[in-house]
Amino acid sequence: MFKASPKLMEKLEAESKSSSTLPPDQRAFLDAARTGDAQRVRELLAKGVPADVREDFAPNEYYEQSEQTALMYAAAGGHLEIVQLLLKAGVDVKAIDKMRSREWGGEQTALHYAACQPNIAIVEELLSAGADPNALTKNIQNRGHTPLNYALQKGHRDVAQLLIKCGTNLGSKIGRKQAASPLWVVVQYRMDLPGEIIRDLFLLLLEAGADPNGAGDANQTAAFGLAGTDVDNPKDLPVEIANELLEKLLKAGARPDWLNDFESTPLECALIRKNPPAIKLLLEAGADVNRVYKRGTVLDINKRDIELCEQELQRLKTSPVPDDEKKAERLKQAQITFEGKLRRCKEISEILHKFGAKQKSG
């Protein structure tokens, strides 16, 4: 989801006032809803300003931001009193906005805006007024997002729990429309939240009956992200948590041989990240150990990875130690990293052979 910096938001607000062609009272009404001025909103409603007046500006070509309602602004800002005033005035709770950026194409409702905030009272008000928990956004990947997905991206467990209770679809299709799977969303945004929060949200969804084979962009399921957790990246989800969740996902019925749009599988993702426990879990769940990928079988790929690691490790060990202390430390850390990669590659080789792996030529 697009997240503008405070500086950019100040610029957008300034441009909105200069480029807006709305009558002054309508302009003031939207500004009051956005800034949380409940008294001003009340006064303007009493004066006859339509509750459903819409934003009319798009500051520039990329950060298009248009047709928001006062309800959307109030929900986004966490302004409960204003939300209540607008609902009482009969505002359309299912109204949608238009494009916000080239990546996220709009059609967000006030409930989407509210789900990005931890204010559960606003979400409750909107749902009670008839907001649709299965409303889908539109984006370039053609997989829309429900308000639940927005809450998951932000780590708002209470909001997510409420939306699940209210019947949010937990798969990747709503009617005839493609939706981004909530499980995939949690894993996709795993580097934006602490590992324990990701674990908690993921288990919440599984226990609620989320589709273990629900897909997201590029037809990837949650299994791809979990298996492809970067073992060497401290900012990624801790590998112990990732493998725990992968095991639970597989037990819930996730298909280990699911093909994404790039003709890859979770097993190949685990191999790329050199994650032995994930590879073992996938093979135990029935993943095809001899599937031929673009680079050969997993045994072919792993064999080449061993050779590359050995070559790089040899290069690093024979490199002269720099006089600069920081450069010397980086060289040392690089050696440690590749020693770890090589060790895991050899462990993977043992696992693959136990499951009957063969080379493409053999």
Same-domain check for residues 254 and 352: no
Residue 151 resides in a domain: no
Mean of all residue pLDDT scores within the chain: 91
Are both 137 and 179 inside the same structural domain?
no
Same domain, 308 and 283: no
User: Are 232 and 282 members of one domain?
Assistant: yes
Structural domain range at position 81: 16-143
Q: Residue 245 domain-assigned?
A: yes
Number of domains in the chain: 3
How confident is the model at residue 215, as a pLDDT?
95
Say if 294 falls within a structural domain.
no
Whether the model pTM is above 0.85: yes
In this predicted structure, the answer to whether residue 9 has a pLDDT above a threshold of 60 is no
Crossing angle for the helix pair 157-165 and 147-154, to the nearest 10 degrees:
160
Q: Is residue 1 part of a domain?
A: no
Same domain, 177 and 115: no
Q: Which of 134-148, 166-180, 214-228 has the highest mean pLDDT?
A: 214-228
Look at residue 98 in the predicted model and tell me its pLDDT: 80
Mean pLDDT across 219-229: 97
* Partners of 296 in the β-ladder: 293
Does the pLDDT at position 195 exceed 70? yes
Mean pLDDT on 202-228: 97
Is the per-residue pLDDT at 17 higher than 90?
Answer: no
Q: Comparing C-alpha atoms, which of 245, 355, 250 is closest to residue 302?
A: 355
| 314 in the same domain as 248 | no
Give the closest residue to 138 by CA, choosing from 179, 86, 193.
Answer: 179
Query: For 234-252, what is the mean pLDDT?
Result: 96
At 67-116, the pLDDT tens digits run 889 999 999 999 999 999 999 999 999 999 886 555 555 789 999 999 99
Domain shared by 44 and 126, yes or no: yes
Is residue 304 predicted with pLDDT exceeding 80? yes
Which of these ranges, 132-141, 171-180, 313-322, has the smallest mean pLDDT? 132-141
**Does the structure show a pLDDT above 60 at 300?**
yes
As a whole-number percent, the residues of the chain with pLDDT over 70 amount to: 89
Section 243-262 average pLDDT:
97
* pLDDT, average across residues 316-339: 93
**Considering the domain boundaries, does residue 190 fall inside one?**
yes
Q: Answer yes or no: do 230 and 136 share one domain.
A: no
CATH of the domain at 183: 1.25.40.20
Q: Assign 251 a pLDDT band (cuts: 50, 70, 90).
A: very high
Q: Is the pLDDT of residue 14 over 80?
A: no
**Structural domain includes residue 153:** no
Of residues 2 and 255, the one with the higher pLDDT is: 255
